[in-house]
């Protein structure tokens, strides 16, 4: 039980760090513009975040759907990550999740049938 709680705390900490935003202030004349650069710019980071979130929901059975694939959708604003179906099966579903690139807000998640 202690190991599970420790593991979940580490996962939450990892998500918080991965979803951190880097703010750069550009000063032009009398006005300042704020440019926000997000750290979830690559597939590997998106997949790691998705694994953490899907593990919290479905447990270790998500690892039967490895490898995970990630792609940007909605004009590059949303990550869609899903597992892959084992080749020995022709039917079944895999876990999936959609979350915003800018703040890691989960839009959808589930498991296909």
pLDDT in tens, 95-105: 999 999 888 89
Distances (CA, A) of 40 to 33, 59, 88, 109: 22, 24, 33, 18
pLDDT tens, residue by residue, 14-31: 655 555 545 455 555 555
Instruction: Give the model's pLDDT for residue 19.
Output: 55
CB 56 within 8 A of CB 11: yes
Whose CA is closest to 41, among 83, 2, 70, 1?
70
Whose CA is closest to 46, among 83, 7, 80, 11?
80
Instruction: Give the model's pLDDT for residue 92.
Output: 80
Instruction: Give the model's pLDDT for residue 40.
Output: 80
The Cα–Cα gap between 111 and 96 comes to 6
DSSP code of residue 7: H
Instruction: Give the model's pLDDT for residue 50.
Output: 93
Q: What's the pTM?
A: 0.67
Q: Pick out the chain residues at pLDDT < 70.
A: 1-39
For the chain, how many residues are written? 113
The bridge status of strand 106-111 relative to strand 69-73 is unpaired
């Amino acid at each position: 039980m202690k190991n599970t709680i420790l593991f979940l705390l580490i996962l939450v900490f990892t998500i918080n760090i991965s979803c951190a935003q880097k703010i750069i202030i550009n000063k032009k004349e009398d006005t300042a513009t704020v440019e926000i650069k997000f750290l979830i710019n690559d597939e590997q980071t998106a997949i790691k975040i998705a694994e953490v979130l899907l593990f919290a929901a479905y447990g270790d059975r998500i690892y039967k759907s490895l490898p995970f694939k990630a792609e940007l959708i909605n004009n590059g604003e949303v990550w869609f990550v899903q597992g892959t179906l084992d080749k020995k099966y022709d039917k079944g579903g895999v876990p999936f999740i959609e979350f915003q690139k800018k703040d890691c807000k989960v839009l959808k998640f589930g498991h296909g049938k």
